[in-house]
Amino acid sequence: MTATTQSKPSQEEHPITRYVRKDRIPHIYCPACGIGIVLTAFATALDNLKFDIDKLTVVSGIGCTGRASGYFEADGFHTTHGRPIPFATGVKVANPELKPVVISGDGDLFAIGGNHFIHAARRNVDMLVLCINNFMYGMTGGQQGPTTPTGAITSTTRFGNIENPFNLVSLAASAGAVYVARWTVLHARRLAKSIEKALQKDGFTFIEAVSPCPTLYDRHNRFGSGLDVLKLYKEISVIRNFSDPMKAEIDYSTRIVCGEFVDEEKPEFTQRLAEQSARLQKR
């Protein structure tokens, strides 16, 4: 995590280190990986909100981002591949006082876990799903996944990806998420603000954080170093708040539409369950 891996630690502790399991540092992430920026944004959001950590459950699946839940000084669970959302659903339904936050990757959430994502969004179970999208499977060595751009080179698409990628914000919006946003890791402060907003909402919220994977994706596709990729993000990303998510398809070379796409209120699942249960118990 960026805050704890600075070369010259100051005398005073950085405000977000209290959210970090210090005995788990150093973390597993490669230099210039974007995951650390997102995790820092998440910790910053918790700190800005003075969030009650006892009520937080951080859940993640499998992959590089899947390790995220293990770095927070909070209740956390590292599920099997693709299953953080149903686990979080079980947590939330069983104890509605808790706020599950799912931090996981694009492969975990949208390939093996895709069905769980759309159904949790449809039910509107209160949780934040924070997807770090690096366009392929990092932990296993850079294979094609459900967000890999068409034509991209990965270890399983040596001659170019012939599949179409998901547009995650469009998928989340159409499945019923009450809050949908996309940022790149270059938009670290906007991302943190967005996480703050999502944490305060009552319902299924989704944030996509577009992240470099300089070790695999960006190297195979000749996007250069981590810094080069951030420069690219600066050049091609545009902020179009509340624009049509259907038209926000990512073109990794020319255009990444960022911003908030959905922010609305809908009855939340566990509240409806509690209301129904209260009515039945009065009979």
Partner 1 sequence: MASKAVLTGEMFTQGDIAAAEGAIAAGCRFFAGYPITPATEIAERMASRLPRIGGKYIQMEDEIASCTAVVGASYTGLKSMTATSGPGVSLMNETIGLAAMTEAPMVLVNVMRGGPSTGQPTEASQGDIMQAKWGSHGDYEIIALCPSSVQEMFDFTIQCFNLAETYRTPVFLLADEIVGHMYERLIIPPEDEITIVNRKKPTVPKEEYLPFKADGDLVPPMAVFGEGYHFYATGLTHDERGYPVMTPEAQLELIPRLCDKIRKNADKITQAATFETEDAEVLLLAYGGEARSAMRAVKDARAEGLKVGLFRPITIWPFPSDQLKKAAANAQQVLVAELNYGQLVYEVERHIRGEIPVHLIPRPCGVPHTPNELLKEIKRRTQ
List residues binding partner 1 (CB under 8 A). Answer: 21, 23-24, 53-55, 57, 59, 67, 69-70, 73-80, 83, 85-91, 93-95, 97-98, 115-116, 119, 273, 276-277, 280-281, 283
> For the chain, how are helix, strand and coil distributed in percent, rounded to 5?
40, 20, 40
The two tokens of residue 159 are 């001659």
- Helix (H, G, I), strand (E, B), or coil: what is residue 115? helix
Residue 112 C-beta: closest distance to partner 1, Å: 10
Residue 140 C-beta: closest distance to partner 1, Å: 15
Residue 221 C-beta: closest distance to partner 1, Å: 30
Q: Which is nearer to partner 1, 174 or 225 (CB)?
A: 174
Residue 152 C-beta: closest distance to partner 1, Å: 29
Residue 124, number of CB atoms within 10 A of its CB = 22
| Alpha carbon separation from 205 to 6, 25, 189, 277 (Å, rounded) | 32, 29, 18, 25
Residue 203 C-beta: closest distance to partner 1, Å: 16
User: Is the separation of the CB atoms in 195 and 209 below 8 Å?
Assistant: no
Q: Which is nearer to partner 1, 94 or 162 (CB)?
A: 94
Tokens 């509340």 correspond to 242
CA distance 219 to 236: 19
Residue 90 C-beta: closest distance to partner 1, Å: 3
Strands 237-239 and 179-184: unpaired
CA distance 142 to 117: 23
Q: Which is nearer to partner 1, 98 or 111 (CB)?
A: 98
Q: Which is nearer to partner 1, 96 or 224 (CB)?
A: 96
Q: Which is nearer to partner 1, 4 or 194 (CB)?
A: 4
Q: Which is nearer to partner 1, 11 or 281 (CB)?
A: 281
Residue 250 C-beta: closest distance to partner 1, Å: 27
* Angle CA 132–90–100, to nearest 5: 40
Residues in the chain: 283
- Which residue, among 68, 7, 66, 8, has the nearest Cα to 36 in the 3D structure? 68
Q: Which is nearer to partner 1, 12 or 23 (CB)?
A: 23
